[in-house]
Amino acid sequence: MAPKINGVGVSGEDTRICVVMVGLPARGKSFIAQKAQRYLKWLSVPAKTFNVGNYRRHDAPQPTAEFFDTTNAEGERTRRAAAEAAVADMLRWFKSGGVIGILDATNSTKERRKWVIDRVQSEGVDVLFVESKCDDEELIMANIRDVKTTSPDYKGQDPEKAALDFRERIRNYEKVYKSINADGDEDDLTYLKIMNVGKQVIINRIRDYLQSRIVYYLMNLHIRPRSVWLSRHGESMLNLEGRIGGDAGLSHRGEEYALKLPQLVLDSVGSDRPLTVWTSTLKRTISTARHLPKHYNQLQWKALDELDAGVCDGLTYQEINDIYPEDFQARDEDKYNYRYRGGESYRDVVIRLEPIIMELERSEDILIISHQAVIRCIYAYFMQKTQEESPWVPVPLHTLMKLTPRAYGTELQTYKANIQAVSTWRGKGSTARHEDPVPEGGL
């Protein structure tokens, strides 16, 4: 797992953190857990979620609300056993190199939280509680209908009945639920409390940088509906020659794409609500954005510039293979970690894109016009692509992608401009100037 020439990104080497979710059901805990895990893995921090509900389902696949009544001894025992199994698995996972384990359960009583602390801290793992608190009944019911009625607990049941049963289940939790430090005697805990989807936030005793990174990321999340649009620049003069990098202008067909982009975006957005446009600082993305409507706010980010190919900048793949045959091969063997001499690796690009991802999470509708490698990295973040896959993802020219985050994952739509362009995708080992992507695994 140790990369050959790179550092280990942002991970604090010695810290191991158990992120313990806290909150009543239907407060978006799993949503938060899932996002945090995706973000951390994207940054190469080993992260894994342990969902207590999944452990419980072994013993009680489709329980009714009564099962969750705290006076139901049998239910109580089963749920306790599930929590123990999840924590035991997590501790084993830490021993095998895990860095951030996320315990996804309600953990809604002081006793349960105390138990988790005792269990986890004795193994030298720090505990960070993350509570999602929400009193907005409408938001809660919307969440129940969207997510919970499709849960395995209610498979094959009438959705309306399922929703009611689930509301009942929550009431059982409400009886014993204690928000963190509500009584003032949990002041020693390290915690993040997010109230009403980020309107108010409390953080308490955050100790190190990695903790503050997670906290900051989670503070940026919101659930207002929005989409992110991604496009590469129009075909450039260097694309025509099959040369990488450079700072060339658009080809004739690239110009055509720039002219067509406003309509393509309008069709995809479906209304004239304005987008914020982010480009790189290179000519080809700025040119591609220049016909977009005037009321779209445009911003240039240096961090969106193409992966720096160092000494190989401006060469064709054939030339790279001729001049630096060992590098050419090394790159194909581990494209994610390979850093061009005097340039960057995909891993480096991910690290420099991290502030962009933070800002993306905080923002609403954004259109990003950037470059192949950069879009691959952003795409990998949203679509959970592994480091083996992401550097090979085909991102064709003259195509607009729309990514819409949903409760469990991201929805992708693509819009072709139907303007011809060369393909800049390259298969492993190939030095072809232009080559069509292999059909499977495409966008």
How far from 180 is each of 126, 204, 213, 240, CA to CA, in Å? Answer: 17, 10, 21, 60
Q: Is there a contact between 350 and 42 (Cβ–Cβ < 8 Å)? A: yes
Of the pair 170, 351, the CB lying nearest another protein is at: 351
Active site residue 398: no
CB of 71 to another protein, least distance (A): 35
Of the pair 222, 226, the CB lying nearest another protein is at: 222
CB of 17 to another protein, least distance (A): 14
CB of 426 to another protein, least distance (A): 22
Strand order across the beta sheet in which 297-300 lies: 297-300, 276-279, 366-370, 228-232, 399-406, 409-416
Of the pair 208, 267, the CB lying nearest another protein is at: 208
Helix (H, G, I), strand (E, B) or coil at 149: helix
Whole-number Å distance between alpha carbons of 22 and 104: 8
Active site residue 333: no
Of the pair 10, 81, the CB lying nearest another protein is at: 10
Of the pair 300, 410, the CB lying nearest another protein is at: 300
Selecting among 104, 256, 344, 354, the annotated active-site residue is 104
Q: Is there a contact between 103 and 18 (Cβ–Cβ < 8 Å)? A: yes
Helix (H, G, I), strand (E, B) or coil at 143: helix
Active site residue 123: no
Structure tokens at 345: 């690796």
CB of 171 to another protein, least distance (A): 27
Q: Which of 111, 184, 119, 131 is CA-nearest to residue 19? A: 131
Strands 399-406, 228-232: pairing is antiparallel
Whole-number Å distance between alpha carbons of 19 and 21: 6
Q: Is there a contact between 106 and 83 (Cβ–Cβ < 8 Å)? A: no
Of the pair 106, 181, the CB lying nearest another protein is at: 181
Residues binding another protein (CB under 8 A): 5-10, 13, 198-206, 208-209, 212, 215-216, 219-220, 222, 247, 281, 297, 299, 302-303, 308, 310-311, 339, 341-344, 347-348, 351-352, 354-355, 359, 362
Q: Is there a contact between 284 and 336 (Cβ–Cβ < 8 Å)? A: no
How far from 310 is each of 60, 279, 306, 315, CA to CA, in Å? Answer: 57, 21, 11, 10
Instruction: Fill in the DSSP letter of residue 66.
Output: G
Of the pair 256, 348, the CB lying nearest another protein is at: 348
Of the pair 84, 247, the CB lying nearest another protein is at: 247
CB of 13 to another protein, least distance (A): 7
Helix (H, G, I), strand (E, B) or coil at 78: helix
Whole-number Å distance between alpha carbons of 71 and 38: 37
CB of 140 to another protein, least distance (A): 20
Structure tokens at 383: 């679509």
Any idea of the CA torsion for 164, 167, 173, 178, to the nearest 10 degrees? -170
CB of 129 to another protein, least distance (A): 13
**Burial (CB count <10 Å: 0-12, 13-18, 19+), residue 122:** exposed
CB of 353 to another protein, least distance (A): 11
Of the pair 223, 311, the CB lying nearest another protein is at: 311
Buried b (16+ CB within 10 A) or exposed e, 34-45: bbbbbbbbbbbb
CB of 143 to another protein, least distance (A): 21
Selecting among 126, 165, 186, 233, the annotated active-site residue is 233
Whole-number Å distance between alpha carbons of 131 and 108: 9
Selecting among 305, 306, 348, 361, the annotated active-site residue is 306
Instruction: Name the residues annotated as catalytic.
Output: 104, 233, 306
